[in-house]
């Protein structure tokens, strides 16, 4: 169908238009008079054209568009809502907003179409009285260079976002996995800490998840939009710690950069600074750290200028700070400044009921990192893991699971026999024997204990208990019946 030939030209598709001779106010679109002039040009140059009224009902469609949509009789769709004929159309959005969509890719009948959409405005009051659309391309091949460039820019943007994400907090409270009373108490204290600006001291053995919890506190705090900066004190040479914390002024020493270098306090301004293994900090630097915390200001190395900083401090250590204070290797005044809100993270051996949940979470993460299908873990393997001492805690557990997957290619289920070779043991010691109790009995007891703890933690709320255990509610009901558990007693 060519451009419509009817009285009044194409503007007949837009009833209720303004009188000629009025000066239209500027709008993001076309007036019916402009449509009369420009539409034949656009329609001839495009691979399809359509118009709708103020109710987004089709008022006209040409033969080219009908062929693309597989419509035999154009008159059959006149007056019908455009969204029913073209499911992915954005014409109603153009009519509703009054804003054009100058370039868009739309899918229709397994084809990708490049479309331009323009609203049509009344010439007097500027209200939207309809919209027109043209298919600029029904074949994306000529646009391949442009699309390739766009995809390349999208990849670069995604890479930049991932790099920024690595510099920020990556963990939230849900990433600190566990439903035992010990872990739930840690989470309760962490949420209290997140709501305050006071310093937090995290105590726990290596591998218990201190940095995960610190990031979760930052992510749940009012400073979540601010920077997250972490420093492992034990990993920085003693001579560089002051510069690392407080920055370096230009030319502060021979070989120093001629530009100022910011320290971690300046970088964390407005956000959170996490100091891991703070117990390894030398005494000389402890005094400067105490001043920075008390005064809220720092002085760069080689500078006489004092810079105010607004930093929330979270510290962590696996050492006994109280004993270090008693022996004089850690300043008591700094200890009391850091020890405002203390959270002790339990060792893995102290909450064996969480072993199954932890294994599921770690295996999920390993599968995402490797791109391989996620492996499941059998109950006998969970029971075997729960019996280990785990001096390296969750970090050691992850290492054992990763070794097991590496030693057993395409392993879909980890059982006790598969797991045993990867378990740590002293030199010369034979692999630990499986538990002597019948397996069904050991698994049932472990499930019974975990369910009771989850119900106690949730105040008897079964839906919440199921979420804590990481299982559907229907599975929880099945296990309650199977294990003869009455949650109301």
* pLDDT tens, position by position, 143-191: 667 667 777 777 777 666 555 544 566 888 989 998 899 999 999 999 9
- The pLDDT, as a whole number, for residue 426 is 57
- Residue found by looking up tokens 């890719």 in the block: 105
- The pLDDT, as a whole number, for residue 237 is 87
Residue 489 CA to residue 437 CA, distance in Å, equals 28
- What is the number of other CB atoms lying within 10 angstroms of the CB of residue 193? 27
DSSP 248: B
Q: Which residues have CB under 8 Å from 344's CB, separation 6+?
A: 186, 203, 204
Encode 379-421 in three state secondary structure.
Answer: HHHHHHHHCCCCCCHHHHHHHHHHHHHHHCCCCCEECHHHHHH
Residue 414 CA to residue 356 CA, distance in Å, equals 12
CA atoms within 13 A on the CB side of 229: 21
- Angstrom distances, CA of residue 96 to CA of 90, 93, 127, 165, 337: 10, 5, 10, 37, 58
- Residue found by looking up tokens 């998840």 in the block: 209
- The pLDDT, as a whole number, for residue 410 is 74
- Angstrom distances, CA of residue 339 to CA of 191, 321, 344: 17, 10, 11
- The pLDDT, as a whole number, for residue 26 is 46
- Residue found by looking up tokens 């971690």 in the block: 264
pLDDT in tens, 26-56: 456 667 676 666 667 766 777 888 999 999 9
- The pLDDT, as a whole number, for residue 336 is 93
Q: Does pTM surpass 0.75?
A: no
pLDDT in tens, 259-315: 778 889 999 999 999 999 999 999 888 998 998 889 889 888 877 788 899 999 999
Q: Three-class SS of residue 30? A: strand
- Angstrom distances, CA of residue 165 to CA of 137, 168, 290, 451: 38, 5, 30, 36
Q: Three-class SS of residue 145? A: helix
CA atoms within 13 A on the CB side of 95: 21
Q: Where are the alpha helices (DSSP H) in 107-240?
A: 144-167, 181-194, 210-219
Distance, C-alpha 36 to centroid of its chain: 50
Phi-psi region of 277 (alpha: psi -120 to 50; beta: other; left: phi over 0): left
Edge-first strand listing for the sheet containing 228-232: 228-232, 272-276, 312-317, 200-203, 341-344
- What is the number of other CB atoms lying within 10 angstroms of the CB of residue 223? 21
What parts of the chain have a pLDDT lower than 50?
1-11, 17-26, 165-166, 427
- The pLDDT, as a whole number, for residue 149 is 76
Numbers of helices and strands, H then E, in the chain = 19, 14
361, β-bridge pairs = none
- Angstrom distances, CA of residue 305 to CA of 293, 323, 328, 441: 17, 37, 32, 69
- The pLDDT, as a whole number, for residue 457 is 80
- The pLDDT, as a whole number, for residue 340 is 92
Tokens of 61: 């469609």
DSSP 346: P
Domains of the chain: 9-143 (3.30.450.20), 173-346 (3.40.50.300), 349-436 (1.10.8.60), 440-482 (1.10.10)
Q: Is 7 exposed, middle or buried (0-12, 13-18, 19+ CB in 10 A)?
A: exposed
Q: Which residues have CB under 8 Å from 161's CB, separation 6+?
A: none
What length does the chain have? Answer: 489
């Amino acid at each position: 169908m060519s451009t419509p030939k009817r009285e009044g030209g194409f503007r007949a598709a837009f009833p209720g238009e303004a009188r000629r001779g009025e000066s239209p106010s500027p709008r993001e679109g076309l007036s019916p008079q402009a449509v009369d002039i420009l539409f034949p040009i656009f329609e001839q140059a495009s691979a399809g054209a359509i118009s709708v009224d103020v109710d987004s009902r089709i008022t006209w469609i040409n033969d080219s568009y009908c062929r693309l949509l597989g419509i035999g009789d154009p008159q059959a769709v006149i007056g019908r809502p455009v969204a029913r004929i073209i499911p992915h159309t954005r014409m109603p959005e153009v009519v509703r907003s009054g804003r054009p969509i100058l370039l868009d890719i739309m899918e229709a009948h397994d084809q990708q179409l490049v479309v331009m959409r323009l609203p049509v405005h009344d010439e007097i009051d500027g209200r939207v009285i309809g919209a027109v659309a043209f298919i600029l391309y029904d074949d994306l091949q000529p646009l391949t260079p442009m699309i390739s460039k766009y995809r390349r820019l999208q990849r670069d943007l995604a890479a930049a976002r991932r790099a920024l994400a690595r510099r920020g907090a990556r963990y939230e409270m849900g990433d600190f996995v566990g439903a035992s009373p010990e872990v739930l108490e840690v989470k309760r204290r962490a949420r209290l800490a997140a709501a305050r600006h006071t310093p937090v001291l995290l105590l726990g053995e290596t591998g218990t998840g201190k940095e995960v919890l610190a990031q979760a506190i930052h992510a749940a705090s009012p400073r979540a939009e601010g920077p997250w900066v972490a420093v492992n004190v034990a990993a920085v040479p003693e001579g560089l710690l002051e510069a690392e914390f407080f920055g370096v002024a230009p030319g502060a020493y021979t070989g120093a950069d001629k530009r100022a270098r910011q320290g971690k306090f300046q970088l964390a301004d407005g956000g959170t600074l996490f100091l891991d293994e703070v117990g390894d900090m030398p005494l000389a630097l402890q005094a400067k750290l105490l001043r920075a915390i008390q005064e809220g200001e720092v002085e760069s190395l080689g500078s006489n200028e004092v810079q105010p900083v607004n930093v929330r401090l979270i510290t962590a250590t696996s050492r006994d700070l109280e004993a270090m204070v008693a022996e004089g290797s850690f300043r008591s005044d700094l200890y009391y400044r850091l020890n405002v809100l203390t959270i002790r993270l339990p060792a893995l051996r102290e909450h064996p009921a969480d072993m199954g949940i932890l294994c599921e979470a770690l295996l999920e993460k390993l599968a995402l990192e490797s791109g391989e299908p996620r492996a499941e873990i059998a109950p006998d393997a969970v029971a075997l893991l729960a019996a280990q001492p785990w001096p390296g805690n969750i970090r050691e557990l992850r290492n054992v699971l990763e070794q097991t997957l590496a030693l057993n290619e395409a392993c879909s289920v980890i059982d006790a026999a598969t797991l045993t070779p990867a378990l740590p043991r002293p030199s010369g010691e034979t692999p630990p024997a499986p538990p002597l109790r019948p397996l069904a009995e050991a698994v049932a007891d472990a499930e019974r204990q975990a369910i009771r703890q989850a119900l106690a933690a949730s105040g008897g709320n079964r839906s919440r208990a199921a979420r804590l255990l990481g299982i559907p509610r229907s599975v929880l009901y099945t296990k309650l019946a199977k294990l003869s558990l009455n949650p109301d007693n």
